[in-house]
Amino acid sequence: MKTFTQLSTAAALALALLTPALAADAISGDVKKVDEANAKITLHHGPAKSLGMDEAMTMVYRVKDAAMLKGLKAGDKVKFEAIEEPSGYTVTEIEKGK
């Protein structure tokens, strides 16, 4: 019984780690260009209050990790979060939308 409980805990932990931690106020956008070699993505997005962007725009974002771009291509709808850094805006979370 103890073994079963430990296994369940491990499974729950694995699931929690796989679930993207996208906040409710994530920004909706669509992919214009993916540049995996340079860890950059061009996104068109609507107003993003969390970034101080009041209007829709298309812009280039860096991504925290180039691996985040795997499976993404131009035309995909996405939800993402980004932060402003001295070097520019960096996407911290991104997932394909519906």
For residues 22 and 59, which CB has a smaller minimum distance to Cu ion in the complex? 59
Is residue 53 at the binding interface for Cu ion, with CB under 5 A as the rule?
yes
Spell out the residues 6+ positions from residue 45 whose beta carbon is closer than 8 angstroms to its own. Answer: 27, 28, 29, 30, 53, 56, 57, 58, 59, 80
For residues 12 and 57, which CB has a smaller minimum distance to Cu ion in the complex? 57
* Number of residues written out for the chain: 98
Residue that is written with structure tokens 């993404």 in the block? 72
Is residue 60 at the binding interface for Cu ion, with CB under 5 A as the rule?
no
Do 86 and 13 touch, CB atoms closer than 8 A? Answer: no
Measure the CA–CA gap between 13 and 25, rounded to whole angstroms: 25
Report, in Å, the least distance between residue 17 CB and Cu ion: 29
For residue 5 the two structure tokens come to: 């409980």
Is residue 39 at the binding interface for Cu ion, with CB under 5 A as the rule?
no
* The one segment of 5-13, 30-38, 45-53, 67-75 that binds Cu ion by CB under 5 A: 45-53
* The one segment of 8-16, 28-36, 56-64, 69-77 that binds Cu ion by CB under 5 A: 56-64
List contacts with Cu ion (CB under 5 A): 53, 57, 59
